[in-house]
Amino acid sequence: MATPLTADKLLKALRNEGLTVVEHRSWRTHNRNHKGPWGPVHGVMIHHTVTSGTQSSVNLCYDGHSSLPGPLCHGVIAKDGTVHMVGHGRANHAGLGDDDVLRAVIDEKALPNDNEANTDGNRHFYGFECINLGDGQDKWPAAQLEAIEKAAAAICRAHGWSERSVIGHKEWQPGKVDPRGFTMDSMRARIDARLGGRARPPAHEEPPASHRPPAAALEPFPGAAFFVTGRRSPIITAMGERLVAEDCGRYEEGPGPEWTHADRTSYSVWQRKLGLSADDADGIPGKSSWDKLAVPNM
């Protein structure tokens, strides 16, 4: 629970986190405050735009449309990682959501399932719209994912919140699916790592060989028997993020902590990329292919 950051403090927090921020038109005074209060704020909400193209997406989020006036968020995160500020104050992004979810965010506890729409989220959440079609096929570039991580972490850092104060629209309002293409659990893990100061290469991006983490920073091969249906572990999430970084991910939603058919299919693509075939590309990790994937230590 906190008083919203002023426009200047919000801008400073984002830039101090290393983000490139563009100020769009009169964003500092562009809001829906005449429709209701802005604050106290409790967290950060992540969305996808269901659009393509930076300028058109930014204009849409600033202006809104006939059935939903703008601003539709506070910042728009482009594919290249640039954050475009379009509003400050109450914004039409969260709508009505679950009061149990809000209590969990305030208490920074595990989220319950969202099954009600009885609480005003526009009052209580910062919102970032991220440019993506939301069809499960449109890729999330490494720069964009890193910017989402940084933007959320910047606000959490400014308010003294943990990563549990960051949620997806789909975790707030029943029927919503955004953001689609990565899991909020994996994003919260990244935000936690950033807030904790643990060096970690951004997911979906292969660091240059000279900047690869030392062997001690890599997850050792857990053995082929580890990868069975139903197994849940942050190691599986980290593996999936590296597969996506290698353009081998075949996830509709994810990656996530549970070993699934999508993980096996994605790993098979990685094995074939290494030149393996037939039974050697069955999607079950082996030590050689695992070591080459360079999964960060969990």
Residue 71 domain-assigned?
Answer: yes
Q: Lowest-confidence range among 46-55, 101-110, 196-205, 260-269? A: 196-205
- List strand residue ranges (DSSP E) for the chain, in order: 21-23, 43-48, 64-65, 68-69, 75-77, 83-85, 96-97, 119-120, 125-130, 166-168
CATH number of the domain to which 283 belongs: 1.10.101
- The reply to whether 146 and 20 lie within a common domain is yes
User: What confidence score (pLDDT) does residue 206 get?
Assistant: 39
C-beta separation of 79 from 144 below 8 A: yes
Q: CA 154 from chain center: how many Å?
A: 14
Residue 2 domain-assigned?
Answer: no
Q: State yes or no: pLDDT of 117 exceeds 50.
A: yes
- The reply to whether 165 and 226 lie within a common domain is no
- The reply to whether 214 and 185 lie within a common domain is no
In percent, the amount of the chain with pLDDT more than 90 equals 77
Task: Quickly tell me which residue has 């563009």 as its tokens.
Answer: 22
User: What confidence score (pLDDT) does residue 207 get?
Assistant: 41
Residue 203 domain-assigned?
Answer: no
Which token pair is 102?
Answer: 């809000």
Mean residue pLDDT of the chain comes to 90
- The residue that leads in pLDDT, 3 or 278, is 3
Largest CA distance in the chain: 64
Mean pLDDT, range 230-250, rounded to an integer? 88
9 by Cβ neighbours in 10 Å (0-12 / 13-18 / 19+) ranks as exposed
- The reply to whether 57 and 150 lie within a common domain is yes
Q: What is the span of the domain harbouring residue 176?
A: 7-196
User: What confidence score (pLDDT) does residue 204 get?
Assistant: 38
Residue 204 domain-assigned?
Answer: no
> What is the spatial distance between Cα 219 and Cα 235, in angstroms, rounded to a whole number?
8
Q: State yes or no: pLDDT of 53 exceeds 70.
A: yes
- The reply to whether 143 and 218 lie within a common domain is no
- The reply to whether 147 and 121 lie within a common domain is yes
Q: State yes or no: pLDDT of 62 exceeds 50.
A: yes
